[in-house]
Amino acid sequence: MSGYIGAIPVPEATQKRSSHTATSGQTTFAVDYTVGFIDVFLNGIKLANQDFTATNGNSVTLAVAASANDILDTISYTTFNVADPSHVSAGAVNLLEYEYTATAGQTTFTGADNNSATLSYSVGNIIVSLNGITLDNGSDFTPVGGTSIVLASGAAAGDHLAIIAFTRNFYVADVVSATTGGTFGGSVSVTGQVNATTGGTFGGGLTVAGNVSLPDNYKALFGAGSDLQIYHNGSASYISEQGTGNLVLGAADSIIFQNAAHDENMLVASQNGAVSLYYDNAVKLATTATGISVTGGITVDSTSSFEEIKEKVSVDSSTTGTITHALATGPAIVFCNVDQTANRTVNLTGANTFLDTGQSTTVVILFKQGSTAYYPNAFQIDGAAVTPEWQGGSAPTDGNANSIDSYSYTIIKTASSTYTVLASKTQFA
Average pLDDT value for the chain: 87
Q: Let me know whether 287 and 233 are in one domain.
A: no
pLDDT in tens, 349-390: 999 999 999 999 999 999 999 999 999 999 999 999 999 999
User: How many other CB atoms sit within 10 Å of the CB of residue 185?
Assistant: 6
Specify the number of domains making up the chain.
Answer: 4
**Single-letter residue type at 427:** Q
Cα angle value 95/99/101 (rounded, 5°): 170
Do residue 226 and residue 280 come from a single domain? no
CA atoms within 13 A on the CB side of 169: 11
As a whole number, mean pLDDT of residues 183-204 equals 68
Q: Do 27 and 54 contact (CB within 8 A), yes or no?
A: no
Query: What is the per-residue DSSP string for 251-281?
Result: -SSEEEEE-TTS-SEEEEEETTS-EEEEETT
Clarify whether residues 141 and 228 are in a common domain: no
What are the pLDDT digits (tens) for 54-87? Answer: 999 999 999 999 999 999 999 888 765 544 444 4
Question: What's the pLDDT score for residue 90?
Answer: 45
Q: Assess if residue 183 is contained within a domain.
A: no
pTM: 0.44
* Distance from the Cα of residue 178 to its chain's centroid: 29
Q: Which residues contact 9 (CB under 8 A, 6 or more apart)?
A: 1
Rounded mean pLDDT of 272-296? 94
Domain boundary among 166, 199, 231: 166
Considering only residues 249 and 187, tell me which one the structure prediction assigns the higher pLDDT: 249
Instruction: Please indicate, yes or no, if residue 206 is contained in any of the structural domains.
Output: no
Residue with more model confidence, 193 or 214: 214
Same domain, 118 and 236: no
Average pLDDT over residues 9-34: 82
In a domain, 193, yes or no: no
pLDDT (tens digit, 9 = 90+) per residue, 267-281?
999 999 999 999 999
Domain that holds residue 221: 213-246
